[in-house]
Structure 1
Amino acid sequence: MIINPVLPGFNPDPSICRAGPDYYIATSTFEWYPGVQIHHSTDLVNWSLVCRPLGRASQLDMRGNPDSCGIWAPCLSYADGLFWLVYTDVKRLDGNFKDAHNYLVTAPAITGPWSDPVYVNSSGFDPSLFHDEDGRKWFLNMVWNHRTDSVGGSPKHPAFAGILAQEYDAAAGKLIGEAVNIFAGSDHGLVEGAHLFRRNGWYYITVAEGGTGYGHAVTMARSRDLTGPYQLHPDTFLMTSKDAPDAVLQRAGHGQMVETPEGEIYHTHLCSRPLPGMRRSPLGRETAIQKCVWGEDGWLRLAQGGLVPDVKVPAPDPLSRKAPDKATHRDFTGVTLPEEFQWLRTPQPERIFSLTGTALRLHARESIGSWFEQALVARRQEHLSFRAETSVHFAPRSYQQAAGLVHYYNRNKFHYLAVTWHEGQGRVLTILSCPGDWPDGRLQFPLEQPVALPEVGAVELAMGVNGANLQFLYRLTGDDWQAIGPVLDASVISDEGGRGEHASFTGAFVGMAAFDTSGSAIEADFDRFAYIPQDG
């Protein structure tokens, strides 16, 4: 069985393609660097990260990009012996404008080398590239209309002005001909995330609608001509959880179909698993897969019937079994950063971290939550309950210097257990918390008094997250773990925390952070990191 979500934790907007027996899914990474995650599978059940293709300054520089901007909705395809990847780099979130720039990169193999980007257009986000049977290529993206009251966090339908299609000349590296608005979507509105599929003389288009919250959906239509007009699916939607509040997989929408070598159809989609009893999704928007079947009327539907996606889905190979989740322990003795970790925005990682052979060394830069250059290295939270541990060697000389363990969403949503310095106590432990204070990002300090530490020596830090509750812990060498500070609200480190639904698009991360607002770039060494799933 396929057990959903197949890519747990922050992995939204899944674009799927097949090259021979191999399947690949590309997902959005927003402000996290390197850009785009690509996972590989041969059975649609077990997936492994194979590359993040946008990893150098000539391809991507997101310094200054606001939270939840950056890389939106990549589309991965395979044609003419190449992998093609199109994506948007969004430079503005709030207000009437988006400043969404679309690019294309190619590679002869999924692991690269990936080319420098070719600029395509900036008329809207969520691009896709369709390779037609006659060899022509078509570039699609939604078109953004700024002449509305649609602003970040409160999307209105008129801003989502339809799906544009324009021919792309690969040899010339540019769009040709006129752009045509081929599909305005259904009455559900907020049309985006378009993908084309051709079958039996029909062009089928699937789009995301309803916003990426609890009204999300995959809408389907078809036409005999690529540029339309398109006729809506008899059910309008291929899948949605909008009318199923008790479904495990909520917010279902935005995905793409793929055909197996045997002719079976599967469709990816994003989803979320909100905390029980509340509409908060710390794991962000995750990737799931549904089996679909063609009806006698020529329309695609979920194999299980209805519109609601399933957690368990028949796999192409009935003998495929999902590998169990395991704890991950890293000691940072290698020469490269372990694959699960990312950082924020900058194409110059050497300025914020290095591997010493025995530790991950953070070079403290700007404040936690900076949009430009902050030393934060973290991995996705993939389970509603987990424990994380690390050990830090750090000798601060000022209260402007801190290093420690962080549960992080963005600059308005984090909890941070940090070693720092206090005028009266010397080296201390403190907690810096920002529980969703938008737009100001004001801090709270849950400890009444910082906890005094020895002047030197390693400090071990941990957090235990159980659903909506987070408890920090610490210990010194040879001591037992002890709790520090009150139980904190982990639910706010979620898509819906703070500003609420439609305002944040990533997911919770857990990792190591250091800042030095004095500008001295003090160093902090972390010699291990453990992530231990504790879901049932």
Structure 2
Amino acid sequence: MIHNPVLRGFEPDPVILRVGDDFYIATSTFEWYPGVRIHHSRDLVNWRALGGVLDSRHLLDLTGVPDSGGIWAPGLSYADGLFHLVFTVVDTYAEGWKDLPNYVTTAPSVQGPWSDPVPLHGRGFDVSLFHDDDGRSWLLNMRFDWRPDRDMFAGIELQEYDRGTGSLLGEPRTISVGTAAGVAEGPHLYKKDGWYYLVHAEGGTGYEHGAAVARSRDLFGPYQPDPAGPLLTSRHDPSLELQKAGHCSLVRTSTDEWYAAHITARPYAERGRCVLGRETALQPVTWTEDGWPRIKGGVPAVTVPAPALAAAPVPPEPVTDRFDGLGPQWSTLRRPPTPDWIEAAPGRLRLHGGQSPVGRRAPSLVARRVTASRCTFETRLTFLPRTSDHLAGLTAYYNTRNWHYLYVTAEDDGSPVLTALSCAAGELTAHPVRIPLRPGLPVVLRAELDGPALRFSYSCDDDETGPHSLPLDLDATVLSDEHADEFHDGQLRVLGFTGAMLGLWAQDLDGTGVHADFAYATYQEDHA
């Protein structure tokens, strides 16, 4: 059986692809490196993280992108013996404007090397490539219209793409404006039995989210929506365990079975906040006698039958990472993990202090996704701060405006102290906890997520009575898409598209040079 979500935690906008016996899912990464995460499976049940595609500034520059900007909804396809990745880098999205450069890169293997990205256009986002059986290829995207008196979601565009030159041909054509649900985006095109099937997201990214399908005998339409309604949605049933279902892509197995990869979310309360962000799930797809794809009931199921493929287990991820390199479970914020600020060696991850928590050019944060509502994260820190401008520790993080931080810094007299700081919608709270530490003595820091609650604790090497819990009752739900969304005077200011992360953070606010050493990181889910 397939147990959903198959990719847990912050893994949205899945595009699924089969090449031979191998299945790949690519997901959005927004402001995090490496850009575009890839997972691999041979049976659709067991998935292994391969890491990210866009792993250097040569391939992707995220300097200064806004929270939940950066990489939106990539498209992954295969033709001519090459993987083709198309992606949007969202540089601006607020106050009615969007700057949306789109690129294409190719590689002989999904693990690279990837070619220099070639710019395509900036008319919209959620790009994907469709390779027709006549040898021609087509780029799809939603069309963004900035004009205040227009619907900014102006329909689904199609334009020919020349695989040989990596360039666009002719003029774009609008092939669909979606359904009455509105917000047509995330398009993917498929061909079966002489029909072109357009699958796209609709209804926005929240609890009204869904996926629709339309078909045409002609590539350019007109496309007739499925008269049965949405292919998939949770919008009509708040009791479903999997909410926000939509944004589908389809795959056909070697055993001629079809599946849809889609977004979903698991709120902690009915229609509540989703700390785990938007996740990836799979649903079987059947075809009606008159040629429409259907998901049972049009709703997402937690457990579904797996395809008739040989089981292909993958090794479990180690609970404790001692940093013999930086594994695929880790991401870095807005800049790639280059040696000028991060050094991984067995038994030590050294972070050279970076910008403040609101800095968008050079933060020093390495983090991993929260994949369960109950989990713990622990590290052992050695840090010698000289002033209050030097900070290092453990964070439960969503974006620059929403996080909790357990950190070591220095008092005015230079003595080290352990304390905590929180930020919710940009408002700082300095918690009244200050625990003196011995200079140079390592300290173990621990975060425990217990549904909507977050607890910090610590212990020192010379203290046999620990760990000690900090007397703080922290709200984990500020680390959610719903809390991160911000509107002022009716204008969008901040989007929440990612998910909660647990990470290691260091700041050098006076620029005098300071580093922090982390001996290990342990992440463990509580399945009780």
User: Normalization by structure 1: what TM-score?
Assistant: 0.94
Alpha-carbon distance change, 110 to 163 in structure 1, aligned in 2, over 3 angstroms: same
Aligned-partner residue type, residue 189 of structure 1: G
1:442 and 2:427 equivalent? yes
Question: Per-residue displacement from partner, 1:504-524 (whole Å, max 9, x unpaired)?
Answer: 001110010000110123010
Is residue 2–residue 303 contact of structure 2 (8 Å, CA) maintained in 1? yes
Alpha-carbon distance change, 425 to 103 in structure 1, aligned in 2, over 3 angstroms: closer
Is residue 187–residue 201 contact of structure 2 (8 Å, CA) maintained in 1? yes
Distance in 1 between the 2:525 and 2:337 partners?
31
Give 1:348 deviation, angstroms.
5.9
Aligned-partner residue type, residue 445 of structure 1: A
Distance in 2 between the 1:298 and 1:357 partners?
56
Give 1:428 deviation, angstroms.
0.5
Q: What's 2:188 paired with?
A: 195
Look up the SS of the partner of 2:63 in the other structure.
Answer: coil
Distance in 1 between the 2:60 and 2:378 partners?
31
Q: What's 1:413 paired with?
A: 402
Is residue 322–residue 346 contact of structure 2 (8 Å, CA) maintained in 1? no
Greater shift, 48-57 or 64-73, is seen at 48-57
Give 1:476 deviation, angstroms.
0.3
Pick one of 450, 456, 461 that aligns with 1:466: 450
Question: Per-residue displacement from partner, 1:53-102 (whole Å, max 9, x unpaired)?
Answer: 11122210111001000011011111111111111010012111110111
Distance in 2 between the 1:308 and 1:356 partners?
46
Aligned-partner residue type, residue 406 of structure 2: L
Is residue 327–residue 532 contact of structure 1 (8 Å, CA) maintained in 2? no
Q: What's 2:470 paired with?
A: 484
Q: What's 2:518 paired with?
A: 526
User: Normalization by structure 2: what TM-score?
Assistant: 0.95
Aligned-partner residue type, residue 375 of structure 2: F
Alpha-carbon distance change, 211 to 475 in structure 1, aligned in 2, over 3 angstroms: same
Alpha-carbon distance change, 392 to 348 in structure 1, aligned in 2, over 3 angstroms: closer
Question: Per-residue displacement from partner, 1:243-269 (whole Å, max 9, x unpaired)?
Answer: 010101100011200111121110100
Distance in 2 between the 1:58 and 1:331 partners?
28
Look up the SS of the partner of 1:293 in the other structure.
Answer: strand
Give 1:319 deviation, angstroms.
7.0
Q: What's 1:180 paired with?
A: 173
Give 1:168 deviation, angstroms.
0.6
Look up the SS of the partner of 2:102 in the other structure.
Answer: strand
Look up the SS of the partner of 2:13 in the other structure.
Answer: coil
Aligned residues: 520
Question: Per-residue displacement from partner, 1:140-173 (whole Å, max 9, x unpaired)?
Answer: 1111001127xxxxxxx81100011000112222
Alpha-carbon distance change, 321 to 110 in structure 1, aligned in 2, over 3 angstroms: closer
Is residue 368–residue 514 contact of structure 1 (8 Å, CA) maintained in 2? no
Is residue 327–residue 533 contact of structure 1 (8 Å, CA) maintained in 2? no
Is residue 86–residue 128 contact of structure 1 (8 Å, CA) maintained in 2? yes
Pairs within 5 Å for 1:332-347: 332=323, 334=324, 336-347=325-336
Q: What's 1:387 paired with?
A: 376
Q: What's 2:491 paired with?
A: none
Q: What's 2:490 paired with?
A: none
Alpha-carbon distance change, 344 to 326 in structure 1, aligned in 2, over 3 angstroms: closer
1:297 and 2:290 equivalent? yes
Aligned-partner residue type, residue 328 of structure 1: V
Look up the SS of the partner of 2:339 in the other structure.
Answer: helix
Q: What's 2:68 paired with?
A: 68
1:315 and 2:335 equivalent? no
Give 1:500 deviation, angstroms.
6.1
Is residue 187–residue 200 contact of structure 2 (8 Å, CA) maintained in 1? yes
Distance in 1 between the 2:83 and 2:504 partners?
34
Is residue 58–residue 116 contact of structure 1 (8 Å, CA) maintained in 2? yes
Greater shift, 500-509 or 182-191, is seen at 500-509
Q: What's 2:255 paired with?
A: 262
Pairs within 5 Å for 1:195-344: 195-277=188-270, 279-302=272-295, 305-317=296-308, 320=311, 328-332=319-323, 334=324, 336-344=325-333
Look up the SS of the partner of 2:472 in the other structure.
Answer: strand
Give 1:455 deviation, angstroms.
2.0
Q: What's 1:369 paired with?
A: 358
Look up the SS of the partner of 2:273 in the other structure.
Answer: coil
Look up the SS of the partner of 1:350 in the other structure.
Answer: coil
Distance in 2 between the 1:473 and 1:449 partners?
12
The gaps in structure 1 that reach 5 residues or longer are: 150-156
Q: What's 1:455 paired with?
A: 439
1:494 and 2:480 equivalent? yes
Distance in 1 between the 2:210 and 2:284 partners?
16
Question: Per-residue displacement from partner, 1:406-438 (whole Å, max 9, x unpaired)?
Answer: 000001110000000112582101111002x2x
**Percent of aligned positions that are identical:** 46
The gaps in structure 2 that reach 5 residues or longer are: 488-493
